[in-house]
Structure 1
Amino acid sequence: MKTEISIKINDKFKAEYAKGYPLISKEALEDPEVIATEGSILKLVDKQGHFLAKGYYGRQNKGYGWVLTNTESETIDQTFIEQKLAAAISRRHAFFTNKETTAFRIFNGEGDGFGGLIIDYYDGFYLLSWYSEGMYTFKDQVIAALQNVVDCKGIYQKKRFDTKGQYIEEDDFVAGERGEFPLVVKENGVNFAVYLNDGAMTGIFLDQRDVRNVIKQKYAKGKTVLNTFSYTGAFSVVAALGGATNTTSVDLAKRSSSKTIEQFSVNGLDFESQDILVMDVFNYFKYAKRKEMKFDLVILDPPSFARSKKYTFSTSKDYTNLMKEAIALTEKNGVIVASTNSASFGMKKFKGFVDKAFKELGGKYSIVEEFTLPSDFRVRKEFKEGDYLKVLFVKLS
């Protein structure tokens, strides 16, 4: 049995928790110096001791833990977890029956009722991501519950925490049979090589599925494409399959070249006819300006924070300048796909970054499409921060 501790919530946040707000934040606590072990059950009460909600203690960058239920009598055990998993999988029934897409999210943390836990599906294999030591204390119950609810070929995990509260990334085989990697999965009919056993990332960001599909279907044909911060080149691959005349992929990571070549190859595309560059994106911008290069479609999907030898990039501070660099390389009537996964601001502020860039350059534009998270990345209306993805298709006038 896990230890249960009562903690008092200040009056300012009392109504929020009654409405279903899921994050246990430092600001909400009467006494922020909580003395609890990771994984302890927290009973949230008001100043008078009246029950508000129940959750668990798990320190991560977002807060002190997550609310799991507003029912005082409910026990947080394997049965509870099994019910959450079963409900989440039921919501995604259409994904499991779609042969053209074999990689998607089946459990999205607080969006599915258990913050700190992410589960992704890769063609029969399941990948668990733990976001706090407190969440990790539920490991055995989660794995047993998952095996009871679905037929798993194999289960892998990635720890995204350490005991000092710093973000680390680690992977591990957990149960079932080991996969043979690369595992080739499908996304709207496109092949992607993924690795569940090779560091923090698998080789594809599943949250960009809808964006990749619309690029392939509507924006790539006959176009020249620049894909910055390209990672494994997924945007470049869908653009090439959509009929782009040429793609240029730019990323600082040395592994990006071989990974991008692999993604082109598993789709039967000639990677040698594409440009794949390992270099700092900001240095590439300077190079392309000198050469007076222009592209029909420019994709900007930087990490929220990045550092190279010469540059430090933070989305909240530097996205406007990044947009200005992209505008300079975009043809008239061309399109910039401006994307961010930063949860620290909303879509309105993000549009402000874009607008400021055009105003400072004296240019005109229109937003022709916008995207947030796909339907398998379930979010709660009470926790807007959970809908972190913001993508704008910006057409230059």
Structure 2
Amino acid sequence: MFTIRLKKGKEKAVMQLHPWVFSGAIASIKGKPANGDIVTVTDTQGEFLAYGMFNGQSRVAVRLLEWMPEATIDENWWRNRIKQAIAGRSALLNDGDTDTYRLIFSEADYLPGLIADKYADFISVQILTSGIERVRPVVLDELQQLLKPAGIFDRSDASSRSHEGLEVSYGTLSGVEPPEFVTVKENGIAYGVNIADGQKSGFYCDQRDNRMLVAAHAKGKRVLDCFCYSGGFTLNALRNGAASVTSVDSSALAIETLRKNIALNNLDHLPHDDFQSDVNKQLRKFREDEDKFDLIVLDPPKYAPSRSSLDKASRAYKDLNRQAMKLLNHGGLLATFSCSGAVDIGTFKQILAWAALDAGKEVQFIQQFSQPGDHPVRASFPEGEYLKGLLCRVS
């Protein structure tokens, strides 16, 4: 067994069960572990702390797996971890109205670098660490045995793989190749999901609960859904009796998919229009045209991928929300989200307060949103809490 000895004082986070050991915390390495090898982590006195997966070229040099010295990180260990993660989704597995959700959420499910999403009869996986890459056959076999999917598709095309010395991996791994659009259900609404070419792993199932919560306020209202992607908030608003819905996204594929999803749910007779446009530009155009809305949804991409980009992202969030606030009728609602882990809820509230001040508006926070239960937040890994949102009354 290779051994990683930590510098004095660097053992605290490990003892508090945080799953990352940064390269700067390492005092010495016994042996020459290759990327993906299992290592023992000790304190400066050589006392056992944990087992983890090593990567010599990543800033996160060790991703910890196990804190019990008697444990053995073998094939059975990996299979049991996967079983535990799937068992934690048992309520969703038996939900007849929903067949798309996250099965495995990386560190939050004690499997650093493994993400698996279920789309009806297909599974999409992302393998983002060299340690998980080592056990790829075991992962695929266990998923196949537990869920018997029609096919498993690899979306390990994230740039973060390069930090682990891994090349992009993409394509069908087992079973049949998914069709261009896999039809899934979420809360009784059907969606055509492009697993192969869609954003991320194909669909943003982390907004499942929030789509319903926001739609509860849509009845009789003129709704604007920005960064609509395949139409989650749009479809829920239409089904819940919105007076009209306008959807905006810069992606032609997103708008095409949105239109197909509206037709798929027999909602195409309801008042809806869409714009393939940059959202910020379109918001300015709405203002020039003196358009007003009763409910606006802002679900932008990740503006702050790291803390170093927080200042720039804060300005972008503030400007986006300021523009939206100016388009709301008096007393209108703004459902606004951030999926940037570097932006905590306190910071997000402060950004919205600044946006309101610049817009000359008063804002009340009336509801707070977060990620659903299939995206758990591990107590020792708060970094896993990335999605937050607020429902604001703007006057």
> TM-score, length-normalised on structure 1?
0.90
Match of 1:284, SS state, is: helix
Residues 169-225 of structure 1: per-residue CA shift (max 9 Å, x gap)? 753111123333411111111111112223553542000001111122x11111111
CA contact (8 A) 1:170 1:200 kept: no
Corresponding residue for 1:195?
A: 194
Q: Structure 2 residue aligned with 1:382, among 364, 380, 390?
A: 380
Q: Are 1:214 and 2:213 an aligned pair?
A: yes
Q: Structure 1 residue aligned with 2:276, among 274, 278, 283?
A: 278
Write the mapping of 1:103-114 to structure 2, written as runs, cut at 5 A: 103-114=100-111
Corresponding residue for 1:223?
A: 221
1:163 positional shift: 6.1
Write the mapping of 1:87-166 to structure 2, written as runs, cut at 5 A: 87-159=84-156, 160-161=158-159, 164-165=162-163
Inter-partner Cα distance in structure 2 for 1:214 and 1:143: 35
Going from structure 1 to structure 2, the CA distance change for 1:100 and 1:318 (only over 3 Å counts) comes to same
1:42 positional shift: 2.5
Corresponding residue for 1:310?
A: none
Percent of aligned pairs sharing the same letter: 28
Inter-partner Cα distance in structure 1 for 2:227 and 2:237: 15
Q: Are 1:45 and 2:50 an aligned pair?
A: no
Between 60-69 and 243-252, report the one with greater CA deviation: 60-69
Going from structure 1 to structure 2, the CA distance change for 1:20 and 1:389 (only over 3 Å counts) comes to same
Root-mean-square deviation (Å): 2.5
Going from structure 1 to structure 2, the CA distance change for 1:150 and 1:233 (only over 3 Å counts) comes to closer
Inter-partner Cα distance in structure 2 for 1:21 and 1:181: 40
Inter-partner Cα distance in structure 2 for 1:42 and 1:338: 43
CA contact (8 A) 1:82 1:149 kept: no
Going from structure 1 to structure 2, the CA distance change for 1:127 and 1:16 (only over 3 Å counts) comes to same
Inter-partner Cα distance in structure 2 for 1:100 and 1:349: 35
1:317 positional shift: 3.5
Inter-partner Cα distance in structure 1 for 2:179 and 2:100: 16
Corresponding residue for 2:357?
A: 359
CA contact (8 A) 2:55 2:62 kept: yes
Q: Structure 1 residue aligned with 2:340, among 339, 342, 346?
A: 342
Code of the aligned partner of 2:151: G
Write the mapping of 1:239-318 to structure 2, written as runs, cut at 5 A: 239-270=237-268, 273-305=271-303, 315-318=313-316
> TM-score, length-normalised on structure 2?
0.90
Corresponding residue for 1:180?
A: 179
Code of the aligned partner of 2:173: V
Match of 1:261, SS state, is: helix
Q: Which residues of structure 1 form unaligned runs of 5+?
A: 307-312
Between 334-343 and 249-258, report the one with greater CA deviation: 249-258
CA contact (8 A) 1:171 1:199 kept: no
Residues 18-61 of structure 1: per-residue CA shift (max 9 Å, x gap)? 121112234533469x9753212132111111111111125898
Going from structure 1 to structure 2, the CA distance change for 1:372 and 1:221 (only over 3 Å counts) comes to same
Inter-partner Cα distance in structure 1 for 2:59 and 2:302: 15
Q: Which residues of structure 2 form unaligned runs of 5+?
A: 305-310
Residues 95-122 of structure 1: per-residue CA shift (max 9 Å, x gap)? 1111001111111111111111011112
Going from structure 1 to structure 2, the CA distance change for 1:58 and 1:322 (only over 3 Å counts) comes to farther
Corresponding residue for 2:77?
A: 80
CA contact (8 A) 1:60 1:131 kept: no
Going from structure 1 to structure 2, the CA distance change for 1:162 and 1:107 (only over 3 Å counts) comes to closer
Code of the aligned partner of 1:230: C
Match of 1:237, SS state, is: helix
